[in-house]
Structure 1
């Protein structure tokens, strides 16, 4: 019984242990840039979706005063093809985030920072080892190659 209890505790996400989660915002204009974690009170369920929603919403006024920003805030345009801004699936160590609305890029630096903050934010969860971020059409977000699969294959 003790082993089962210990296994359950070890598999809990940070939010389940502390009631808080981290959202990683960009600071500065580097490529892919520095990320800084801020804390948010976690909901009882849907925690991974919650942190992405927070990333899209952007930092608070006080956090913006510290120089933090999100490259996703104000960048989602047009109608959704799934009834929400995005869909998120986590399976076998891989988080696949597909935006259901068009995400407007902001140039190479901004695009790199957006992907960096998404990955940092989702990798706080023990169950996430790899992050794949897709656009509305199922192509790797901001991938301008013909195939559009660099985030899946690992090749650019």
Structure 2
């Protein structure tokens, strides 16, 4: 009976929203300034939620303050992850973010700002010390070298 009561309480009790910072770009420097805004994550998937917010972009009020996300509107094509835009795994202090759709780059400055936003947003979490961002083919996002592995080795 005790287990049934606990299960019932958990089923009807909403999870408490968690404050999460999302770091949007401000200006167009390389890699640029990022500014934190706070969002309420509806569940415990805070890293996933934060990346989703970067893709969605700033609110109208935040855009009036000069904030922007160059990820907004840049995902194209079919997902190779069963419909998801990305996957994220955190293991041994490393967050590996792999996009499941093509991410369009808009040049060196824009690409640097995207990576800076993602890096800063994910490193706010105590379990993340390094961020690896991959494209849908498993290559380092925006890496134009033959190997496409600069984010894995730490060398650019």
TM-score by length of 1: 0.88
Query: Is the Cα–Cα contact under 8 Å of residues 119 and 131 in structure 2 kept in the other structure?
Result: yes
SS at match of 1:63: helix
Corresponding residue for residue 13 of structure 1: none
- Map Cα deviations across residues 108-155 of structure 1 (whole Å, 9 max, x no partner): 000000000000000000000000000000000000000100000011
Q: Give unpaired runs (5+ residues) of structure 2.
A: 1-14
Q: Using the TM superposition, give the Cα deviation of residue 44 of structure 1 relative to its aligned residue in structure 2, in angstroms.
A: 2.1
Point out 4+ residue stretches in structure 1 off by more than 2 angstroms.
16-19
Corresponding residue for residue 63 of structure 2: 64
Corresponding residue for residue 93 of structure 1: 93
Corresponding residue for residue 24 of structure 1: 23
Corresponding residue for residue 39 of structure 2: 40
Is the counterpart of residue 77 in structure 1 residue 58 in structure 2?
no
Name the CA distance, whole Å, in 2 between partners of 1:56 and 1:39.
15
Name the CA distance, whole Å, in 2 between partners of 1:44 and 1:74.
25
Corresponding residue for residue 121 of structure 1: 121
Q: Give unpaired runs (5+ residues) of structure 1.
A: 1-15
Name the CA distance, whole Å, in 2 between partners of 1:42 and 1:100.
22
- What count of residue pairs does the alignment treat as equivalent? 141
Q: Using the TM superposition, give the Cα deviation of residue 42 of structure 1 relative to its aligned residue in structure 2, in angstroms.
A: 1.7
TM-score by length of 2: 0.88
- Map Cα deviations across residues 7-30 of structure 1 (whole Å, 9 max, x no partner): xxxxxxxxx998201000000000
Query: Is the Cα–Cα contact under 8 Å of residues 16 and 42 in structure 2 kept in the other structure?
Result: no
